[in-house]
Amino acid sequence: MNEQYPMVQGSDYPYPTQNNLMELGKMGAVVGMCGAGAANLHRLRREEIGGAEAFVDTLKVGVAAGVASAAAGLVAGQIRSSSLSLLATLATGTAVMYMLNQELTENT
């Protein structure tokens, strides 16, 4: 491995660095915005929401998905077992999205 992806001592997996956590966050934000954007386009076509509301909602979901992806990646990098890593990743991502979505729904 190189200095961007240093290895965890005694592990076959790279330790998450600030650079690759940022990449995970960006990828999560893109995926979250794609899903939210598609859902909001349907809502917009049915005239359930306006354009500005759809745009803001899409951005909020994208930010939440980005934060959840980076947090999940950080947790996954701490666990050596691939099965436990997957479970920890899913649990962390779900918990972060739950907390952020709860904040979003309470503030709207």
Q: For the range 57-62, what are the long-range contacts, defined as Cβ-Cβ under 8 Å and sequence gap of 24 or more? A: 58/33, 59/33, 60/36, 60/104, 61/32, 61/33, 61/35, 61/36, 62/29, 62/30, 62/32, 62/33, 62/36
35-92 confidence digits (pLDDT tens): 999 999 999 999 999 999 999 999 999 999 999 999 998 998 888 777 888 899 999 9
In this prediction the pTM is 0.76
For residues 84 and 90, give the distance between their C-alpha atoms in angstroms, rounded to a whole number: 10
